[in-house]
Amino acid sequence: MTSENKNLEIQISNISKYFKNKTAINNLSFNIFKGDLITLIGPNGSGKTTLFKIISTILNPDLGTLKIKNLNTLHKSHLIRDKIGFASHESFLYKDLTLKENLLFIGNLYRIDNLEKRISFLSEKFLLKNYINKPIHTLSKGLIKRATLIRTFLHNPEILLLDEPLSNLDLECQSILIEFLKQESLINKTILISTHQIEISIELKTQIAIIDNGKLVKHLTEPPSSISTLKNIYSKSLKSGVPN
């Protein structure tokens, strides 16, 4: 399916974001269509997380407009927030509550039908069934990461924003997540992944957007055939070199 035939899901028009003297996002424009699967790569501090925070409506852009499902996020964010799932560096979980209590709290805020069933399905999928009644502060970093992913997928969002989703995950869980994302992509979910592990873009056959200094420097609609080709393209696009 070509981009022209698809629905425009996220329309980023000339957005900029400043933090004191630093420009985090610099006049960035980018159209994302329904069902797109995009990997965002770029050096540390290039603006990937800030961009995710703007799309998830945590931050407002200082300049430019962001439309999600044709609604301006500045004025209509309450209508689109339940369509977005954002897995951030932060776990967004209360450490003194158990995993189940956290998920029930979030699930009730999102008005999820068959919540218990959904929690059971996801905790089984991400191998957390045995930890469901444990307080978050007793879990390891890897388990918390899995819990964060469950929390993100809980309300079955149409748009997924995953910031470093593979970090802290063991190999088994990385495969589970990749399989899960393939399934989600098949049902036309829009998925944006920010990562330094560029192999995921080849494995998931994603589009690739290279971001540097808050600007989109390269957009590949098809992934290159190999990681080495991608690394070459990445190096040429940046001054700073290949990501770790």
Interface residue with another protein, options 34, 69, 76, 81 (CB under 8 A) = 81
Strands 190-194 vs 37-41: parallel, antiparallel or unpaired: parallel
Give the DSSP H/E element, type plus range, for residue 15. strand 8-19
Q: Does 62 bind another protein (CB under 8 A)?
A: no
Q: Does 228 bind another protein (CB under 8 A)?
A: no
Q: Does 206 bind another protein (CB under 8 A)?
A: no
Interface residue with another protein, options 105, 134, 156, 197 (CB under 8 A) = 105
Q: Does 19 bind another protein (CB under 8 A)?
A: no
Q: Does 57 bind another protein (CB under 8 A)?
A: yes
Cβ neighbour number for residue 75 with a 10 Å cutoff: 8
Contact 39, 62 (CB under 8 A): no
Q: Which tokens in the block code for residue 128?
A: 């957390």
Interface residue with another protein, options 8, 11, 62, 82 (CB under 8 A) = 82
Contact 49, 25 (CB under 8 A): no
3-state secondary structure of 17: strand
Q: How far is CA 142 from CA 10, 55, 104, 155, 173, in A?
A: 31, 26, 21, 22, 9
**Applying CB under 8 A, which part among 30-38, 39-47, 82-90, 188-196 lies near another protein?**
82-90
Residue with Cβ nearer another protein (43 or 47): 47
Site size with another protein, rule: CB under 8 A: 26
Give the separation between CA 194 and CA 64, rounded to whole angstroms.
22
Residue with Cβ nearer another protein (90 or 222): 90
What are the residues facing 91 on neighbouring strands? none
Residue with Cβ nearer another protein (144 or 181): 144
Q: Does 106 bind another protein (CB under 8 A)?
A: yes
Residue with Cβ nearer another protein (138 or 221): 138
Interface residue with another protein, options 3, 29, 60, 140 (CB under 8 A) = 60
**Applying CB under 8 A, which part among 36-44, 57-65, 165-173, 178-186 lies near another protein?**
57-65
Residue with Cβ nearer another protein (34 or 81): 81
Contact 38, 64 (CB under 8 A): no
Interface residue with another protein, options 30, 86, 126, 131 (CB under 8 A) = 86
3-state secondary structure of 118: helix
3-state secondary structure of 169: coil
Strands 63-68 vs 8-19: parallel, antiparallel or unpaired: antiparallel
Q: Which residues of this protein are in contact with another protein, per CB under 8 A?
A: 53, 56-58, 60, 78, 81-82, 84, 86, 88, 90-97, 101, 105-106, 108-111
